[in-house]
Structure 1
Amino acid sequence: MDWRRLRTDGGETEFKTSFESGDGSSHPGPPRFVTVGEGIVDPNGNEMETRDSLAPWNPDSDTTYDWRVLESPPGSTAVPTDGPVAEFEPDVPGEYTLGLEAPDGTHELTVRAFPEADDDAPRPQVELDATVEDGRVSLSATASVVGTGDPDIEFYVDDRHGDVLEADGTIPVSATDEPTRVYAVAVDERHSVPDAVELVPASEGTDTQSVAIEYPFEPPEWAVDAIVYEIFTRRFPDQDDPTFETIADRLDHLEDLGIDVLWLTPFLAAESGFGTPMEAGGPHGYNTTDYFRVDPDLGTMADFEALVDACHERGIRVVFDLVINHTAETHPFYEAAVDESHPDHERYRDWYRWVDFDERDADTYFGWDGIPNLNYANPAVREYLLGVVDFWAGRVDGFRADVAWGVPLSFWTEVSDRLTGRDSDFFLLDETLPSDTEMGGGRFHMHHDDVLHDTLEQLGESVAGDGTDESDETGRKDEEDAVADEFTDSAAGLDTTTADAILEAIEDRQRRGAHPDSEWLLYVENHDTDRYLAEYGRDAQLAAGAATLTLPGSPMLYYGQETGVTGRRDPMNWGAFDEDLLEHYERLIDLRKSHPALQAGADLERIPYEADTAAAVAFARTDSETDRRVVVVLHFGTGTATVELEESVGETDLLIGTDGLEWERTVAVDSVAVLDADGDGHVDGSRTLE
């Protein structure tokens, strides 16, 4: 096998994948659950839909693979497309068995096709569990759906592990001589994202009549309550000397804030390095020219690794922005692909997707010129990018997958298996806009909560006015290249003229059928949006930031959100912090990290209240383990709002340590108040103080 790959300097570098997916074979992974009429497809221009494909795992570009149907429901004539990476569109509901012919044998894959359904119908959720007794594993699953549905549950054993599920729904322990994965799918008007348990046999020398039950889709424990901080890598350090070293010099700021995860926007060699003008997006780095080389203007690989070590010394994990949907058009692979005189033209022409190759018209999204989409139908592309994944997985704590919606689900399933199977602490965060629940349940641990973000933006527009004119002065407002602006309204169907829309946004996760273990990244702004402070003003920004730190999910701050930066990708304002704003975020983060009722495991509860403005909302959070409960009141408008509660609460605002009540059960709030509601019972629907 030829492991050489072109470098940006015209030379070649060697790489080799170092991890294995699954059992190391070509088997294409877990069973697939799809809908007739949608199928497993990956067409060009598929900008707003889930992309998918059938593909061998651990691909070898020098090997021949072939797909065929082994069994299908009566009346079906569906067959996979030709090629090692195939598409398949079931035409009849039922269960299909596909065969992948590979050098290491024929691998069978179950494809369960459900009937066509109304995409607007609520999607069910399912949670799978198992118990072991008398030498048998019993499965139990709980299904739910918003509304009046009553979902059925179907169980499937991974095809790699054989047919061990018996007619009574149990599995003999003796049949699990290797780790065995079982899936549950809830079926109502639509089918759920699957849940899974892993049955792990007892180790040698222990009780052979026992297996351990593991939950492979759970996120790493450290990520569940993490507070994330995104930096625009080339704008965060001191501007006189912006390097990995000067980023490390600024980590005390993150440690003092209480940050758990540092998300670095791309820092590899890229076309958009230092000197890229703001009208071209600034030095963003999302058009890679070399996947194995850091931008030399930022330092060396050793300097980057020293930055990671410095983060770890402070208890901060590091997330790498993985950009593998596309490359720069100046990447040597693309330059070879478009140049028929290039000696490697034939090798790289099929590494990219084309609208019209003769016209050199590459497939891109939304007219984003200069970043041609890679061709995941080519096993060589998958093989190469698995090598990229392996290379960086050994150097960081997790990936944030840029344009995750543009890469087939089959690839992310393999990446997740490959990395979390090796290290259960490895973390995966996706960018899918609109957020796609299919990315949960064995692909990504956390998703961008675009619905909440869009709700916060629309609230800013409807209840906070236009804010300040600072965005016009910086030239950032209404820029055309914001990714968020390219998509349809994520908060469609929610009444975003009132502040309680933020509660509807959280509840919408269940209606969309998110996997129960999926975590959500809550953000006010990021590198693709305008600054909330500049767009909607200080009062709204204080409330929006508080929302992300008091609602269920993992809060994220975009660098300078807490210090008063007003330009989307402006330099960090070192030496010119808005100290009052910074103190606001320090208090919020400290309270979030110290109070169990504001953390991930706490329930969100709607409560009765009356407010003198639609820009205010009240809700409760309760931690069932400690019975701690708080009431949170947010106000997105200017001035002070008055909110009357139907329950008694503590008089002290936990956020600032002063009285938050004007009189009993009436809260006067500028932007946010957090009040204790730890009672011993209810009286007339209200909670009383002890």
Structure 2
Amino acid sequence: MTDRDSNSDRNREQTTLEFESGDGSSHPGPPRFVTVGESFVNPNGNDMETRDELAPWNPRGDASYSWHVRDAPADSSATPTAAPITEFVPDVPGTYTLALEAPDGTHELTVRAFPEADERAPRPQVSLEATVTDDQIALEATATVTDGSDADLEVEYYVDDRDEATISADGTIPTAEITEPVRVYAVAVGERHSVPDALELVPDESANAGVRLEQPFEAPTWVENALVYEIFTRRFPDQDEPTFQTIADRLDHLESLGVDVLWLTPFLEAESGFGTPMDRGGPHGYNTRDYFSPDSDLGSLEDLEALVEACHDREIRVVFDLVINHTSETHPFYEAAVDSSHPDHERYRDWYRWEDTDEREPDTYFGWDGIPNLDHSNPAVREYLLEVIDFWAPKVDGFRTDVAWGVPLGFWTEVHDRLTSADTDFFLLDETLPSDVDMGGGRFHMHHDDVLHDTLEAIGEWAGAADAAGTTDAGDADAGQTEIKAEAGATDEEDAVADEFTDSAAGIDTASADAILEAVAERDRRGGHPDSLWLQYVENHDTDRYLTQYGRDAQKAAAAATFTLPGVPMVYYGQETGLETRREPMNWGAFDDDLHTYYEQLSDLRRTHSALQTDATLERIEYDTETDAAVAYAREDKNGTRVIVVLHFGEGEATVRFDEAVAETDLVTGSTVTRADTAASEGLSTGVTVDTVAVLEVTDADA
């Protein structure tokens, strides 16, 4: 046993909380809602569609599980595969009941299959509430769809298969039946079906009529209006001694910026630790070698916990980048799996997905060399990964999940239930590109807004000014890194990957800055869960620096968009200080002070002005401008406070005219805004001239 193995085992013994999924049984979780032909399958290969399977919860690698159809629509011949974690493809519309035979008994699961539909049509959204009286609980679902066909929507209600309650045709439940917690689901159905919403009915003598209502899919309140700050963990601290302690030494910078959430890219023992050259992606850490030990060069587990505590002292939450789609090829499990002479070969040979089983050629995505995909169809793998999750969850405030689309949806449903049942404040953020709204509704609280990001890049490409050399830093990445999106001199396959990752704005006309409003509207068109939050970012560790690509003015406007549109803004370390390449060391002592001050101003304004926060409405307004690089829109909070936001992505100044009276002071900088003539713009009473951004309070909302 190596010292690293010894440390890992010692760390694993420090898990202090007991977690369980659902009721602790093997029951496979809540009802599932799909479209006919939509598969519960988990294929090999480069398909970026999210994967899914039906699986026992709280799995044991040494247990026996089997599945069969107990009830199905009359014309169905669909059958689950003969595997403990099964694949199943509903073949006709209707309701299926599948039975899981497990060591602790037989468990039934409802699968509702809706008719095939045109995927180009907008998906509806549904929000579930209830009114409780002494006699009954009346479910109240609000269903909407962006094409305005709300009246054509129907709502279906389902009780969790693990619970005992009866829903009548009019959507009521006798209050007397709620002697144990009962979870109810609602699905809106039109041309397509919605992501489900849920309501937990909890017996509580102190509540109205003895029943408390809980919204299990809501995000923790602490993240709703947060500022997220991502650091490339091994590049952020001083490079003379880059450790958890020297990261903690720099927390004053985060505090002054108004950061609420610190996202740490992977800090575990990994193949790509310190010393990894930039042509291999730099020290990114996305190829894990030990799931229970921090990189010893960064420090010990106790050092990490001290960093988290130091963050908490500043009211900064910490999010851990969880990488459980794949491991490093130097992970001990993989080394055993590929070596038939290894003493643990039989134990681990089925822990990975194989492109060629006989040759032990691993399944990977898009030529991502050296990071073999784990086999989530193996109960032993799931059991182990839940142990990893149980170990880290008490030590941090949330997980950002790398390549979440490569892990079956049902596993994330179990993870959400497991963690939020133990701690309702625990936070989950998925990386799914292109984003998939099915990651919401009981799986993740927040999604990467790839549509807005790609729209901002598309605008910057034509509106912004390239750096003097006209170069980018795309060559900093290499196919060996986990999340490569583009690479100079890439192969055809790798170019295809870049296309896959960067086509999220393909359906949006990005020829004008107004496209950012279309990007936000796309969330509703896709049918995102009403409680889902969206992470809005200009750049991250997988992209080139916006400043280098498109220039200073465009970068400032793009950042202002992420701070003033409804969503949660994220800043990637160095974005606010003038870094020019994606993974270079932080430029301590050499900040672009003007840019840094600008980001502090954006953060201060959003934190103190409710009209710019997540729940405030976004409204298109009529405006006039001589350039496609400018856009204007309104935000308004629930108290009627209203602001006009004007953004300009181009060089120099832009004049924008609109028909609302506004104050003289730009809320971003505190300076007096330059007024412009409106004589040539019929019906538009106000004109302003801006460099990159102005946020102006409306003085008469009825004007």
TM-score > 0.5 by shorter chain: yes
Query: Could you give the per-residue CA deviations for residues 638-673 of structure 1, whole angstroms, max 9, x where no partner exists?
Result: 000111112221121111112213246111111000
1:669 to 685, 690, 702: 690
- How many Å separate the matches in 1 of 2:557 and 2:249? 31
Equivalent of 2:647, from 634, 650, 657?
634
Secondary structure in structure 1 of the residue aligned to 2:350 = helix
Correspondence for 1:679: 700
Matched, 1:611 2:619: no
| 1:40 equivalent in alignment to 2:53 | no
Indicate which of 585, 597, 616 corresponds to 2:611: 597
Instruction: Kindly provide the amino acid, as one letter, of the partner of residue 308 in structure 2.
Output: V
Gaps of 5+ in 2: 478-485, 677-684
TM-superposed deviation, 1:581: 0.3
Once the two structures are superposed, what CA deviation does each residue of 1:166-194 show, in whole Å capped at 9, x if it has no partner? 34421112211111000000111111000
- For 2:600, the aligned partner's letter is E
Tell me the equivalent position of 2:251: 251
Q: How much does 1:487 deviate?
A: 2.0
Q: In the alignment, what sits opposite 2:663? A: 650
* Residues 473, 581 of structure 2: 8 Å contact kept: no
Matches within 5 A, 1:85-164: 85-149=85-149, 150-164=152-166
Deviation at 1:132, TM superposition (A): 0.6
**Displacement of 1:12 after TM fit?**
8.0
Kindly provide the amino acid, as one letter, of the partner of residue 341 in structure 1: S
Contact in 2 for aligned 1:174/1:209 (Cα 8 Å): no
Worse-superposed segment, 63-72 or 474-483? 474-483
The aligned counterpart of 2:195 is 193
Q: Which of 484, 487, 492 is residue 501 of structure 2 equivalent to?
A: 487
- Decide whether the 8 Å contact of 1:47 with 1:406 is kept in 2: no
Q: Which amino acid aligns with 2:578?
A: G
- Secondary structure, counterpart of 2:487 in structure 1: coil
User: In 1, Cα distance between the equivalents of 2:504 and 2:57?
Assistant: 34
In structure 2, do the counterparts of structure 1 residues 362 and 169 end up closer, same or farther at CA, with 3 Å as the change threshold?
same
1:160, distance to aligned residue in structure 2 (A): 0.4
How many angstroms does 1:359 deviate by? 2.4
Q: AA paired with 1:670?
A: D
Contact persistence 1:468–1:537 (CA under 8 A): no
Q: 1:474 to 1:337 in 2, by over 3 A?
A: closer
CA distance in 1, matches of 2:441, 2:498: 25
Name the CA distance, whole Å, in 1 between partners of 2:401 and 2:544: 21
Match of 1:660 in 2: 673
- Give 1:83 shift: 1.1
Equivalent residue, structure 1, for 2:482 = none
Contact 2:473 2:582 in 1 (8 A): no
Contact 2:662 2:697 in 1 (8 A): yes
Deviations, residues 6-46 of structure 1 (Å, cap 9, x unaligned): 99649983668931001100000000001111121111115
Alignment check: 8 A CA contact 2:474 2:487 kept = no
Amino acid at match of 2:569: P
Distance 1:63 1:474 in 2: 48
**Would the aligned equivalents of 1:468 and 1:535 in 2 still touch at CA under 8 Å?**
no
Letter in 1 for 2:675: E
Equivalent residue number for residue 497 of structure 1: 511
Whole-angstrom distance in 2 between the partners of 1:317 and 1:479: 33
Correspondence for 1:415: 415
RMSD (Å) for aligned C-alpha atoms: 1.9
Structure 2 CA distance for aligned equivalents of residues 307 and 671 of structure 1: 37
Counterpart in the other structure of 1:18:
18
Q: What are the residue-to-residue correspondences of 1:285-304 with 2, within 5 Å?
A: 285-304=285-304
Matched with 1:684 is: none
Aligned equivalent of 2:238: 238
Distance change >3 Å, CA 145–CA 167, structure 1 → 2? closer
Q: Which residue of 1 aligns with 2:372?
A: 372
One of 522, 531, 543 as aligned partner of 1:529:
543
Alpha-carbon separation, structure 2, partners of 1:589 and 1:522: 14
Of 6-15 and 79-88, the range deviating more from structure 2 = 6-15
CA contact under 8 A between 2:8 and 2:292: conserved in structure 1?
A: no
What is the CA–CA distance in structure 2 between the aligned matches of 1:27 and 1:405, rounded to whole Å?
23
Q: What does the per-residue CA deviation read over 1:273-332, in whole Å, with 9 as the maximum and x for residues that have no partner?
A: 000000000000000000000000001111000000000000000000000000000000
How far 1:465 moved relative to its partner? Answer: 4.4
1:202 offset after TM fit, Å? 1.4
- Whichever residue aligns with residue 501 of structure 1, its letter is A
* 8 Å contact from structure 2 (residues 473, 545) kept in 1: no
| 2:585 pairs with 1:583 | no
Shift of 1:476: 4.2
Equivalent AA in structure 2 for residue 662 of structure 1: R
Q: Call closer, same or farther: CA 1:474–1:134 in 2, change over 3 Å.
A: closer
Paired AA for residue 687 in structure 2: T
For the 8 Å contact 1:10–1:332, the answer to whether it is kept is no
Question: Aligned AA for 2:426?
Answer: F
User: 2:661 touches 2:699 (CA, 8 Å); kept in 1?
Assistant: no
Question: Residue type matched to 1:440 in 2?
Answer: G
In 1, the alpha carbon distance for the partners of 2:200 and 2:471 equals: 51
1:439 CA drift (Å): 0.3
> Aligned-pair distance for 1:101?
0.6
Kept in 2, the 8 Å contact 1:6–1:333? The answer is no
Runs of 4+ in 1 over 4 A off after TM superposition: 5-12, 14-17, 206-209, 470-478, 480-486
The equivalent of 2:176 in structure 1 is 174
Which structure 1 residue ranges, 5 or more long, are not aligned?
682-686
Helix, strand or coil at the partner of 1:350:
coil
Give the CA deviation at 1:555.
Answer: 0.2
Contact 2:165 2:177 in 1 (8 A): no
3-state SS in 1 of match to 2:651: coil
Closer/same/farther in 2, CA of residues 223 and 472 from structure 1, 3 Å limit: closer
Read off the aligned partner of 1:59 and give its amino acid letter.
Answer: P
After TM superposition, give the deviation of residue 133 of structure 1 in Å: 1.2
> Within 5 Å, which residues of 2 pair with 1:294-373?
294-373=294-373
Q: 1:162 offset after TM fit, Å?
A: 2.8
Paired residues in the alignment total 675
Structure 2 residue aligned with 1:564: 578
SS at match of 1:128: strand
User: What do the CA deviations read for 1:83-139 (whole angstroms, capped 9, x no partner)?
Assistant: 110010001100000001111111110000011111111100001111111321110
Match of residue 431 from structure 1: 431
Is the contact made by 2:400 and 2:430 (CA closer than 8 Å) also made in structure 1?
Answer: yes
Q: How much has 1:455 moved relative to structure 2? A: 0.2
- Give the equivalent residue in structure 2 for 1:272: 272
In the TM superposition, what is the alpha-carbon distance from 1:208 to its structure 2 partner? 9.5
Question: In structure 2, the residue corresponding to 1:293 is in which secondary structure?
Answer: strand
Which residue of 512, 530, 555 maps to 2:526? 512
CA contact (8 A) 1:93 1:114 kept: yes
Q: CA deviation at 1:141?
A: 0.4
In the TM superposition, residue 579 of structure 1 has moved relative to its aligned partner by: 0.2
Q: Name the amino acid aligned to 2:304.
A: F
Instruction: State the distance in 2 between where 1:146 and 1:662 align.
Output: 36
Contact 1:446 1:519 in 2 (8 A): yes
Residue deviations 1:48-96 (CA, integer Å, cap 9, x gap): 2120000000001111111110000001010110111001000110000
